[in-house]
Amino acid sequence: MLDDWITHTPRDILAKNFGVDPSVFDTVPSKFPYILNGTVSEEATDTPQGTLTGNSSYVYRTYSHPSEPVPGTGGVLRKIDSRNFPISKTIAAAVVELEPRGLRELHWHPNAEEWLYFHRGKARATVFIGDSKARTFDFRAGDTGVFPEDSGHYIENTSDTEKLIWVEIYKSDRVADISLAQWLALTPADVVAQTLKVDIEVVKRIKKEKQTFVAGK
Interval 35-70: pLDDT, tens: 767 676 666 667 777 776 676 666 665 545 677 778
Helix (H) or strand (E) run with residue 213 in it: strand 213-214
For residue 114, say whether it is annotated as part of any ligand binding site: yes
Interval 105-131: pLDDT, tens: 999 999 999 999 999 999 999 999 988
d(CA 112, CA 18): 47
Q: Where are the alpha helices (DSSP H) in 86-179?
A: none
Looking at residue 110, its pLDDT comes to: 96
- Which of the residues 68, 168, 201, 209 is marked catalytic? 168
Average pLDDT over residues 122-148: 94
168 is known as an active-site residue? yes
Q: Per mean pLDDT, which range of 66-70, 96-100, 154-158 is the poorest?
A: 66-70
For residue 149, say whether it is annotated as part of any ligand binding site: no
Looking at residue 27, its pLDDT comes to: 81
Average pLDDT over residues 62-88: 82
pLDDT for residue 19 is more than 60: yes
**Can you list the positions of beta strands (E) in 56-205?**
75-80, 92-98, 103-108, 114-120, 122-130, 133-140, 144-147, 152-157, 164-170, 178-179
For residue 107, say whether it is annotated as part of any ligand binding site: yes
Q: What single DSSP character describes residue 26? A: T
Average pLDDT over residues 9-33: 81
Average pLDDT over residues 9-13: 84
CB 102 within 8 A of CB 152: no
Q: Regarding predicted confidence, which is higher, 47 or 134? A: 134
Looking at residue 25, its pLDDT comes to: 81
Assign a CATH topology to domain 67-214.
Jelly Rolls (2.60.120)
For residue 119, say whether it is annotated as part of any ligand binding site: no
Which pLDDT band, with edges at 50, 70 and 90, does 26 fall under?
confident
Q: What single DSSP character describes residue 46? A: P
**For the chain, what percent of residues have pLDDT higher than 70?**
86
Q: How is the chain split into domains, by residue range?
A: 1-34, 67-214
Average pLDDT over residues 197-216: 91
